[in-house]
Amino acid sequence: CPNSDLQAQRRLARTTFATKAQAINKTLHAGTLKRLDVESFSSIQDERRERAERSVLISCPPKINERKILDYLSKHGDIRNYFFYQTYGMYAVVEFSSKESIAALKGSCTIPSVQHEASVPFKSRLLSLKWTGSIGPTTVKCHEQLPISINELIQQLSEQESIDQQMQCLTEAYQLTEENISLRFLVCSLLRDIAAAYFPESIIRPFGSTVNSFGKLGCDLDMFLDLDGVSVQNQRKGSGLSLEYQVKRGASERNVTQSILSVIGECVDQFSPGCVGVQKILNARVPLVRFSHQPSGFQCDLTANNRVAMKSTELLYVYGSLDARVRYLVFTVRCWARVHGITSGIPGAWITNFSLTVLVLFFLQQRTPAVLPTLDQLRDLAGPSDKCVIEENDCTIVSDLSKIKLQGNTDTLEKLLQEFFEFYGSFAFNRSSINIRKGREQNKPEAAALYIQNPFETSLNVSKNVNATQLERFVALCRESAWLLQQGEVLKRSATPSADQIPPWGLAALLLPSVAESAGVKGRRKKKREPASERIKTLLQSLKSSRGGAGEKQSSD
Ligand code: CTP
Ligand code: MG
């Protein structure tokens, strides 16, 4: 896509968004908080998976004519949906109305002959479009698969009129798009074609932030190979005769999972086009195969039989659906944490996004009146068909969300953000653990800097990896941010409509690199720390003189 087109599309998206954000904000302030319409989690996933099975991913030449491509492909069947995007080249996701069209399309594909090398003749749904005729005009609209840069975000936030609007704006700018979620399901479906060679009834399901409603563009793709349909045991009654499969045995469930993942990982590495950098990490607590899927740009983690994680994904989705403010606060806190190096893309002693999300949920349970119910309350509302026990863990939660009665909390987003920082700026992490099941803090069962009880595997600590230094940094930044949100200079939106850019204020000011830099927390450079009050003064100074430039040191993720 030419740059100017991209910019025009972004401008349009921004304007549309600004109108939408204002509408949402009006609703919030009118005190008519409406619960989001919720379809059952599993029915949404099933529908997306079915659509992915009717789709193909096509690498296209850089200059293409949309009409010509669609005319060509629709010879094989009716096209229901499609979109184009650019990563390492131009790609099209094309969804046909029926699966038969895929078979027809594949029937017309050839396996390329390559010079000096040989092809693995695996016929996947990742195709390449070759173009030998005249190109014609390039007429393709590309859909962004990555978030806007932090500088652009800060600029957009500064243009908003309230902190509530800023938090909504941030969420809209970062959340996964419909197209991006479709692409994620398609990648799962392409991998399932590999697994199906051994386990035809298996399903590869996405979990984590792809489907829990808190995913940011560019987040990893967590998947699990679900063999439940394969393993179901049917006791046949009747004549007294029955047949069973002869099977190999492993020493334990874990052992069997490791050997299955090892073989599937090998096939992904050897046969699956587009999958690179395959690593088998089979000795982890949850064994996994990690790789990059180049055509989509997704970093993928494939696990097996990880049903508890799927259930905690559903739990997060339910919490995110109960009140619109939950997602706004989670997205804001996740972004704030990432910008200041509280979370990281690299595994280590950092707080993870999952832990951070549970911290937000817990905080929302502590409000008076509570914004969110406890997990025990969600379990108590469950009907008989909701009962779910996985490896002796009670994972039951209500599926009919209309049974959940919220308590009518009407706090603004600004108030919630401010008080989130105050709450964790003074939380007794040294002796208390976070427990969203009970909705109250409890004595820590074991020594760990940060103890967040796993919602379903209650003997586990979600944040076991976090060390004292990382926790201290989180607490210090919470205190600074709480303080900043009380300062007139930070809260004041500049009334200079003639200026090109409005200086960062409110949430935009909290995301300024100078906060992190002056606090000595950005990167791991050793830097002499100034007293907190001096650092904050420096920030305010930089706020006053700034005309919107957010510095060059921040990355987009
Ligand atoms: N999970 C868990 N316990 C942990 C870590 C993860 O149960 N200690 C589960 C959660 O359901 C989580 C999922 O595994 O959502 C995926 O983990 P991860 O990728 O770390 O978190 P995401 O929620 O996907 O967030 P991100 O956007 O950072 O990937
Ligand atoms: Mg993830």
Percent of the chain with pLDDT over 70: 82
pLDDT at 244 over 80: yes
pLDDT of the residue at 304: 95
Mean pLDDT of 515-539: 46
Index of the ligand 1 atom closest to the CA of residue 301: 19
Smallest-distance ligand from the CA of 347 = 1
Index of the ligand 1 atom closest to the CA of residue 357: 23
- If pLDDT is split at 50, 70 and 90, which confidence band does 225 have? very high
pLDDT at 20 over 50: no
pLDDT at 10 over 90: no
Nearest CA to ligand 1 atom 1: 309
SS3 call for 436? coil
Nearest CA to ligand 1 atom 6: 354
CA distance linking residue 151 with residue 550, whole number of Å? 5
* 485 or 138, higher pLDDT: 485
SS3 of 22-70:
HHHHHHHHCCCCCCCCCCCHHHHHHHHHHHHHCEEEEEECCCCCHHHHH
- Which positions ≥6 away from 199 have C-beta within 8 Å? 225, 227, 230
pLDDT at 3 over 90: no
* Cα dihedral: 232, 235, 238, 241 (round 10): 90
Q: Identify the weakest region by mean pLDDT among 200-214, 494-508, 510-524.
A: 510-524
What digits encode the pLDDT tens for the residues 351-408? 999 999 999 999 999 999 999 999 999 999 999 999 999 989 999 999 889 999 999 9
Nearest CA to ligand 1 atom 8: 462
Spacing, Cα 220 to ligand 1 middle (Å) = 10
- If pLDDT is split at 50, 70 and 90, which confidence band does 497 have? low
Mean pLDDT of 81-98: 94
What digits encode the pLDDT tens for the residues 139-172? 788 898 999 999 999 999 999 999 999 999 999 9
Spacing, Cα 280 to ligand 1 middle (Å) = 18
Spacing, Cα 514 to ligand 1 middle (Å) = 30
Instruction: Share the mean pLDDT of the chain.
Output: 86
DSSP 8-state assignment for residue 17:
H
Smallest-distance ligand from the CA of 312 = 1
CA distance linking residue 335 with residue 330, whole number of Å? 8
Index of the ligand 1 atom closest to the CA of residue 462: 8
pLDDT of the residue at 378: 97
Percent of the chain with pLDDT over 90: 70
Index of the ligand 1 atom closest to the CA of residue 209: 24
Q: Which of 354, 376, 364 is nearest to 407 (CA)?
A: 364
pLDDT at 74 over 90: yes
CA distances from 202 to 98, 190, 205 (A): 21, 13, 10
pLDDT of the residue at 493: 86
Nearest CA to ligand 1 atom 16: 208
Nearest CA to ligand 1 atom 4: 462
Q: Which of 109, 254, 265 is nearest to 198 (CA)?
A: 265
Index of the ligand 1 atom closest to the CA of residue 216: 27
Smallest-distance ligand from the CA of 309 = 1
pTM for the model = 0.88
Spacing, Cα 188 to ligand 2 middle (Å) = 14
pLDDT at 29 over 60: no
- If pLDDT is split at 50, 70 and 90, which confidence band does 489 have? confident
Smallest-distance ligand from the CA of 224 = 1
* 537 or 371, higher pLDDT: 371
CA distance linking residue 412 with residue 57, whole number of Å? 43
pLDDT of the residue at 135: 64
Mean pLDDT of 303-315: 93
Q: Where are the alpha helices (DSSP H) in 497-531?
A: 507-510, 513-518
pLDDT at 19 over 70: no
Nearest CA to ligand 1 atom 13: 208
pLDDT at 524 over 90: no
- If pLDDT is split at 50, 70 and 90, which confidence band does 522 have? very low
**Backbone CA torsion sign across 136, 137, 138, 141:** negative
Nearest CA to ligand 1 atom 21: 354
pLDDT of the residue at 540: 52
Spacing, Cα 208 to ligand 2 middle (Å) = 5
Spacing, Cα 219 to ligand 2 middle (Å) = 6
pLDDT of the residue at 34: 40
CA distances from 500 to 496, 507, 548 (A): 9, 19, 9
Spacing, Cα 354 to ligand 1 middle (Å) = 5
Smallest-distance ligand from the CA of 176 = 1
Spacing, Cα 532 to ligand 1 middle (Å) = 33
Mean pLDDT of 56-84: 93
Q: Is 246 exposed, middle or buried (0-12, 13-18, 19+ CB in 10 A)?
A: exposed
Nearest CA to ligand 1 atom 3: 462
Nearest CA to ligand 1 atom 20: 354
pLDDT at 119 over 70: yes
* 490 or 464, higher pLDDT: 464
Q: Identify the weakest region by mean pLDDT among 125-134, 459-468, 502-511.
A: 125-134
Nearest CA to ligand 1 atom 28: 353
Mean pLDDT of 486-495: 86
Mean pLDDT of 539-551: 49
Mutational test site, ligand 1, from 176, 216, 222, 357, max ligand atoms within 8 Å of CB:
222
Q: Which residues line ligand 1 (CB under 6 A)?
A: 207-209, 212, 215, 219-220, 222, 309, 312-313, 352-354, 454, 462
CA distance linking residue 192 with residue 195, whole number of Å? 5
Smallest-distance ligand from the CA of 219 = 1
Spacing, Cα 539 to ligand 1 middle (Å) = 33
Q: Could you tell me which residues are beta bridge partners of residue 390?
A: 393
Q: Which of 313, 293, 315, 291 is nearest to 301 (CA)?
A: 291
Spacing, Cα 186 to ligand 1 middle (Å) = 20
pLDDT of the residue at 134: 66
SS3 call for 346? coil
Output phi, psi for 398, to 5 deg: -65, 140
pLDDT at 18 over 90: no
Q: Which of 503, 506, 504, 502 is nearest to 484 (CA)?
A: 506
Spacing, Cα 209 to ligand 1 middle (Å) = 7
Spacing, Cα 445 to ligand 2 middle (Å) = 27
pLDDT of the residue at 140: 82
Mutational test site, ligand 1, from 354, 457, 458, 461, max ligand atoms within 8 Å of CB:
354
Strands (DSSP E) found in 395-473:
432-433, 442-443
pLDDT at 533 over 60: no
